[in-house]
Structures are given as structure tokens and as C-alpha cells.
Structure 1
Amino acid sequence: MFALLQAPSAATGEQQVLTAFEARSGRTVWCWPSGSCAIAHWSAGDQVLTAVVDTPDHKREIVALDRISGGLLWRHELTGEAAAAPVHAGTAVHLTTRCGRALAWDAQGGRLRWDVQASRSITTAPLVTDDGVCIASVAPGRLVVLDPSSGGELWRKSVSGAFTAAPFVAGDRIWAADRTGVLHSWDPGTRRALAQQLEQWSEEGGGQPAVEAHMLFVSTCSGWLQAWELP
């Protein structure tokens, strides 16, 4: 089990610490103090734990720690602000930036596999499947699917709204809802698109619908919690 904690520091008074605990006993396994860096996003994968940090000299970096020991494996400077926490998939770590870039690194060695300009603006994490890296962008509003190995564009579909919620998979389709409340779905095989109007939801909670099995739950602007059954 992993957690981000606030801990006292002699130098700064307080610092953020990524900590691993043994799930059954609660015993602390390792700690990684961020020092004078601020941790903006973090996530744990099968091999590594990655964090996006803001340094004191106003730079941004992605840092990878060994999941078992907490030892530093690699770190790289980033161009642009991360849109969301890194996504771990197989042997790769994926990240999107608000300036519209999509990047992938080797999880263990930190080698940059690819870095592409997928859009002008992205505010959500990518959805990574065996068939593609799916990115729902704000500007322009569209779904872009990239090759997981090379980052090359496989296909794209434009919509009239802006995507502020991350795409997800339910059944055999890719889904994403734009900020106007339209729920879009695509068949990855035929790339056929469907759209259904929902009630516009509240973005105060992040604007991300919750998905469980074939059910989608949204909090609407009028104060309702709605449940939708997906095919």
C-alpha cells in the first residue's frame, strides 16, 4: 500500500513523503522524501512508482522509484505541466501534458520511447489498451488513438464538445463524455461512433464519471446522482 504524507523537515519545516506500507501489518517498508520538491501527481504500477514533481527552480520532472525498495531508478525533466497522474501499462509509463503532448517511457530503465504532439490541449490521463493509447483532448475536442509501440497516430474522431473526463472501456467499446454531457462511444474495430445526450454534470468534483462493470454514475449540475447502464 502506498500513500503521500506530509512530514516535518529541518530545512523547509514540512515536506511531502511517498511511503510504502505492508498492507496486512501497516509496517513502513520505505519512504522517499521529496525534499524541497512539490509532488503534483503520482501513481504506482507493477514495477515502479512514478511521481511528477515541481522543483524549487520552477522546473518539472518525472521521477521513478523501485516499487519494492523505494530506490530512485530514473528521473527526467518535463516540458509543460502534466495533465494528470502517470499511467502504468505493461513495461511502459505514459503521461499527457496540458500543452497537448503524449509521452511514453520504459518503466525500469527510463528510456523515452516516444513523445508526440497529440493535440493543442489535454487535461486528462490517457487510456492505455493493448490496441492503442486513447487520448481525449480539450482543444480540439477529439479522441486520438496512438500506437502503443511507436506513438504513431492510428485514428482520430472529432466531436463538437471538449473532453475534460478521461476515456474508459466498457464492454467492447471505448467511451468518453464531453463537458456538455454528451456520452460518446467508439467501436475500436470498425471505428463507428455513437453519441447519447446525458444531463450536464457538475465539474466541481473533477468531472470524471465513475464506472463500475456496465454502469456509469455521474453527478449532475442540478444536484442529482444518475446511473446509466452501458450496453
Structure 2
Amino acid sequence: MKTVLHNASTRGHANHGWLDSHHSFSFASYHDPKRMHFGVLRVLNDDIVTAGNGFGSHPHDNMEIISIPLKGALQHKDNTGRNEIIKTNDVQIMSAGTGIVHSEYNASKTDAVNFLQIWVFPKIADIAPRYEQKTFDPSLRENKFQVVVSPEANGEGVQINQDAWFSLGSLKKDFTASYDVKRNGNGVYVFVIDGEVTVNGQTLHRRDGLGIADSDTLSITADSNADVLLLDVPLV
């Protein structure tokens, strides 16, 4: 088993006033050659956007972009005419493909929104842009892992153009869960949203990240009540 530990305190950080962002991997003005990606996982940003503010229209291409609101709601607009609200317990994916222009704003005029913005390199380049979002029942991830992103069309999660699976778990203190890696050649990046867990012997705290390669199974024990995101992605 090979691991790479990213403690929360070592993440890149940029505070623009309207945006307070922490970067698990190199992004914008934060650059660390040792933290460029974990396999096809390129970006994991923990963003807080103040009321009424957001990212104006900007382009993307050939990237799988996933948004997971942790608190509050985001308003998404793009040049296909789509205008959507994504909120806590929703997961949104945008396959940028040949190119798309979109904006993301805090949907509230009074409260901040906190969301994870995740970028994954695509399996197939230059596909037609595609958008999907789903609402997930949080009770279905109590002491187990709920798939929220997967490669399958009409599967459990929103569909990604990659051999990748994202799963959310809400674990009660002292519960131990196991997770089997979905595909040979994949690794798992564990991101602790809240609480404390021990993963294959490594203790992790809130917002810590741990990349694990060359292991078929993960053992995850909740040292407190904990919310965990598992990103099961190709390493090459």
C-alpha cells in the first residue's frame, strides 16, 4: 500500500473577500509540484462564497467538473440555456467536453454557501458537453457508502466520463466500514468533510486528505461522528 497525506493545514489558501478557498491540489496562484493531482483527480477545492457573489461566466473544456454543496445553495447557468439551483444533498456534474461557458453564484442573498469543486480528467476527449444533477437521500449513507458519481448511465450516481466513483459516508462514532476499490488500477482519495476517522491505520481529521494506492480494500473507523468523501479514480 502506498499513501500520500495532505493535512488540512497544508492546503493552498486564497481569500478574495467574496471567496474563501482551500486547495488540496495546485490551483491558480497555489503551486506545489508534489501536489498536482492524484491520478486523474486534478482539483479538490473547498470553497466558501459570500451571499450574492460567485464566479462569472467562464469557459471550460475537456474536464469533468463536479460540485457538491455542503451548506447552502448554488445557482448554475450556462450557454446551453440551463439555469439550475443545486443545494445540500445534491451533486452536480458538468462534462465540459468540446467546450462550455457557465457561471456559478451563491443562490442566497443572505447566507454563505460552502461547496466542494472537484475536477477530473476525462476518459474520452471532445465529447458533446453534458450536464446532470441528482438529489441524494442522506439516510442512505448512514454507516455505509452511498455512490453519488459513477461511470454508468442511469446508475446510482450522476454519470462521469471516466472510470471513477465518488461515495459519501456518514459514520457514527466507533463504527468501522470497509470499502472495496471499484476497479483494478484505481486508487482512492479519502477526504474528511467533518469529524475524525482512521483509514488503514492513518488518523485523519476534518478536511484532511489521504491518497491510497495499491490497496484493494479500505478499513475506515469513525473516531467521532464523521462525514467522508471517497474518490475512487484511475491512477494512470
TM-score scaled by structure 1? 0.33
Q: Which of structures 1 and 2 has the larger relative contact order (alpha carbons within 8 angstroms, sep 6+)?
A: 2
TM-score scaled by structure 2? 0.32
The higher radius of gyration belongs to 1
